[in-house]
Amino acid sequence: MTFMEERYELSCERIEEIVRTQEVFDKYKDYFEKTAQFLLLMRDTRKRLQEGFLQKASIEELRIMNHGMYEDILGANYDKSYANPAVCCEAFGGKMGRMLSFLHTELRCMIPYVFEEMLEEQVIRMELFVEVYNSFAYALSEEMEAPEEKDLKETLYWFVSDYSEPAVEWRIRTQVDADCDFATRIVMDSDLNDIRYLYQYGEYITPETEKMALYLAAMPEEKIQMMADTYSEGYRIGFVKGNKDLSKKDVVDVRYVLGFERMVKAAIGNFAKLGLKPTIFRASASIFHKKGNLKIGYYGAIANKQFEYDHKDDIGLFLDKKLVNRKLEVLRQAYEDCKEKAAKYAGPAVIEVFGEEPFAPVSKSEASTLSEEQQKLSAEYTGASTGITYEYINGEERSFTIIAFPVPEIGEQFEEIFDETIKINTLDYQSYEKMQAIIIETLNKASYVEVKGMNGNKTDMHIKLYPITDPSSQAIFENCVADVNIPVGEVFTSPVLEGTKGTLHVSRVFLNELEYHNLEMTFEDGKIKDYTCTNFAEEEKNKEYVKANVLYHYDSLPLGEFAIGTNTTAYMTAKKYDIGNRFPILIAEKTGPHFAVGDTCYSHSEDVKVYNEDGKEIVARDNSVSILRKTDPAKAYFGCHTDITIPYDELGSIIAYDDHGNSYPIIIEGRFVLEGCEALNKPFEE
């Protein structure tokens, strides 16, 4: 027996004792009993997996096991779960309740560690639970109700600090090292016609997840291959168009949602022909890897979005300058330890999904939040960690691609919508390229663009454009065909910040799975001056919501991109099936003009020359913030880029103006008006 196995056995024995004998103050007994029972469930699950349960079990037995692991937070159960900070705070008070709810939540991260046989990750959490329990038992022996809150906080703090190093090392290694192949083996070695394979991950599985896998399993091979070809070819073209050498790279970071394994398997075959092996890492919910409510990596169904939203800022329990420095230190060391593999990392290839029921979170006062000082620290960490990452993964040498497909939750017309999405993803890029070239040639004459809303949309933006010195060889906007951002359909630029101003407004928008009503931002010299929405009755909550989830706790962000979407086919598909509110940003950004706040669209690659198909160089790759990378790198990047789209039916006009006052209308009342772009209006008519 290894030392780690001995620690595991000792922890299990102690947790069994805790279930039998509750030596804590009465009001804490139920918390420790139920939490200990979950840990014993994880112990029993580990035993079953070691005995070959996954290979022998029926689909119904697998469903029962899977449901049992997530039952605590499903549906109405969450209203009485200690994972719910409102429940813990009501039972134990604010500060104590938040810490105990965090502990209960962090222990739930053991589920995937059991399936991946990561024994140390299980042991350190079990030992943390035992240590916390012992502090409550000691308090009772001293005739105290509970340990001092500061002592409990210190215990949790040092857990987060001490184990940051192995946690970050594991995360970086799984991203850049193809030998970390837990998920790859599931995809490549499983019989994908037998959906029992879904239960090998340790992710939450729903009937809809199974339906997605069964739908792809029944799909003709040529259709699967077409989807995979569009995805992998977009990735390859991204390197070609970005003037980057793919032959220098070894691994592609494949990200997907469970159920899409058949397409992923075909894509892995395509990537192999490009000389790339896959890295497929899990979207971890642990405090060590969490980035708000974003999912980065592969994942299954989301058991409870409110649960995830409630705990997105748990780091606020501990975050201080010392912890930020510790996290940055271990991040750099993790990259240093695998710098050769990091240098061979080609970038992510992402399969997004859409169609799930829109989620509008409840903002709970009991949930952990970041103080004003912690918000600054969080922003500081984001910027500094992004800088470290790009020291080892050269942004000028990597690329990416993103494609999206609907899932069964979109409704009864799922299969029809899926086929429409394939059509959208495979539109004739050559015809779009020609029409978008007309738009770009018009914009090349301009010094600024005005965008105005209609039908209640209050947008009134003045966008200053980068000046070009040689129209015969230079362009301001990039002609975006189906490469890194699938589907086809936009022209985009990095605007000049100084002189860019006005109001951006959209009546309803979904950004990273969160819904916003009347999202409104005002800009001055290209930077956010004010912001709000109408999700909540209290204006303070509206501002907090936008700042946390769009500005990522920065006080302001620059306008990193201005684009004109041209994919009217996608827009009318949304209208036809009434799914506009379920489109991901990836497709939505092609259905009208959009503005991205955060880094430029050329983040960390501004010095790489990029050309349109006509041979003209896109010269608008920088702005006055990103250029700081040459003098003050810490202030150049923000590690975020969020697109906000105005739909055509809220778009009054897009008109370009030159220095002489000449106007060049691009869109009037939601319709393209340039000669040669008439075909873009046909989907409206059809």
User: 599-623: per-residue pLDDT in tens?
Assistant: 998 888 888 888 888 899 999 999 9
Given a cut of 80, whether residue 86 has pLDDT beyond it is: yes
E strand spans, 147-255 = 251-255
Given a cut of 90, whether residue 228 has pLDDT beyond it is: yes
Domain match, 374 and 436 both: no
CA atoms within 13 A on the CB side of 43: 19
Model pLDDT for residues 246-297, shown as the tens digit of each residue: 999 999 999 999 999 999 999 999 999 999 999 999 999 899 998 877 899 9
* Entry pTM: 0.88
Q: Does 397 reside within a domain?
A: no
Pairing of strands 401-406, 345-354: parallel
Q: What is the DSSP letter of 466?
A: P
pLDDT at position 152 is 97
pLDDT at position 685 is 85
Tell me how far apart the alpha carbons of residues 373 and 321 are, in angstroms, rounded to a whole number.
Answer: 10
Domain match, 34 and 157 both: yes
pLDDT at position 182 is 98
- Two structure tokens written together for 248: 């220098």
395 SS3 class? coil
Give the list of residues 6+ apart from residue 480 with CB closer than 8 angstroms, or none.
436, 488, 489, 490, 491, 492, 563
Q: Does 271 reside within a domain?
A: yes
Give the mean pLDDT of 481-509. Answer: 91
Q: Which domain holds residue 342?
A: 172-301+327-392
Rg (CA), the chain: 26
- For residue 682, count CB atoms less than 10 angstroms from its CB and return exposed for 0-12, middle for 13-18, buried for 19 or more: exposed
Q: Does 413 reside within a domain?
A: no
Q: What is the DSSP letter of 611?
A: B
276 SS3 class? coil
Domain-ending residue, one of 137, 162, 187:
162
Tell me how far apart the alpha carbons of residues 392 and 336 are, in angstroms, rounded to a whole number.
Answer: 8
- Phi-psi sector, 456: left (phi>0), alpha (psi -120 to 50), beta: left
Total domains in the fold of the chain: 3
Give the closest residue to 360 by CA, choosing from 80, 581, 551.
581
Domain match, 371 and 482 both: no
Domain match, 497 and 635 both: yes
Q: Does 401 reside within a domain?
A: no
pLDDT at position 359 is 84
Q: Does 351 reside within a domain?
A: yes
635, 628 contact by CB (below 8 A):
yes
Domain match, 564 and 677 both: yes
pLDDT at position 127 is 98
Among the ranges given (308-317, 492-501, 504-513), the one the predictor scored with the smallest mean pLDDT: 504-513
One-letter identity of residue 75: G
Give the mean pLDDT of 299-311. Answer: 96
Backbone CA torsion sign across 90, 95, 98, 104: negative
Give the mean pLDDT of 130-155. Answer: 95
Model pLDDT for residues 89-128, shown as the tens digit of each residue: 999 999 999 999 999 999 999 999 999 999 999 999 999 9
253 SS3 class? strand
Tell me how far the alpha carbon of residue 313 is from its chain's centroid.
Answer: 15
Phi, psi of 667, deg, nearest 5: -135, 135
Domain-ending residue, one of 132, 162, 192:
162
Domain match, 512 and 626 both: yes
pLDDT at position 21 is 87
Q: Does 576 reside within a domain?
A: yes
CA atoms within 13 A on the CB side of 354: 23
One-letter identity of residue 396: E
Q: CB count, 10 Å around CB of 87?
A: 20
Q: List 514's β-bridge partners, or say none.
A: 511
Domain match, 381 and 454 both: no
One-letter identity of residue 104: H
341, 247 contact by CB (below 8 A):
no
Domain match, 590 and 475 both: yes
Domain match, 462 and 371 both: no
Tell me how far apart the alpha carbons of residues 481 and 231 are, in angstroms, rounded to a whole number.
Answer: 13
Give the mean pLDDT of 156-173. Answer: 96
Give the mean pLDDT of 650-666. Answer: 96
Tell me how far apart the alpha carbons of residues 527 and 555 are, in angstroms, rounded to a whole number.
Answer: 10
pLDDT at position 586 is 82
Domain match, 209 and 342 both: yes
Q: Does 419 reside within a domain?
A: no
Domain match, 215 and 113 both: no
Domain-ending residue, one of 128, 162, 196:
162
Q: Does 403 reside within a domain?
A: no
